[in-house]
Amino acid sequence: MRNASSVLALVLALLALAALGSAGFAARELPEISWLEAGAVIPFVGLLALFALSLASRGRAQHQRTLGRAGGEGVARTARGLGLLALLLTLTAALALAVFAVLATTDGLTKTPW
């Protein structure tokens, strides 16, 4: 393992996806956890996704700088894709949570929040 940045990027991307999925599962299956409480994981997942993208970029740069001797180009490419997926899912979850919060505080669409 000569390109640790690529491997760490993949681990962080997978951890971000797992954290987001487990928060959604917990909110759905456990009655004591609400969707708003599970939404507290969204900033953490966003940071993990950004770190994964940064490390994947660093891993690809290290691969190119060493003319391929460092290896890890495929791992970095996979980490970049999974990190991007985690970031897009995080943005989608944040938007859904914001809509949910507005609807929860305004009793649905019976009155406008502004």
Is residue 23 one of the residues assigned to a domain? yes
Is residue 72 one of the residues assigned to a domain? yes
Is residue 14 one of the residues assigned to a domain? yes
- DSSP 3-state percent helix, strand, coil across the chain (nearest 5): 80, 0, 20
- The residue range of the domain holding 37 is 4-105
Residue 107 neighbours by CB distance under 10 Å: 8
First to last CA, the chain: 56
Model pTM? 0.84
How many Å is the Cα radius of gyration of the chain? 18
Is residue 34 one of the residues assigned to a domain? yes
Domain count of the fold of the chain: 1
User: pLDDT tens string for the chain (114 positions)?
Assistant: 578 899 999 999 999 999 999 999 999 999 899 888 888 999 999 999 999 999 999 998 888 888 777 777 889 999 999 999 999 999 999 999 888 888 878 776 555 555
Is residue 16 one of the residues assigned to a domain? yes
Is residue 114 one of the residues assigned to a domain? no
Is residue 63 one of the residues assigned to a domain? yes
What is the C-alpha separation between 73 and 9, in angstroms, rounded? 12
Q: Is 64 exposed, middle or buried (0-12, 13-18, 19+ CB in 10 A)?
A: exposed
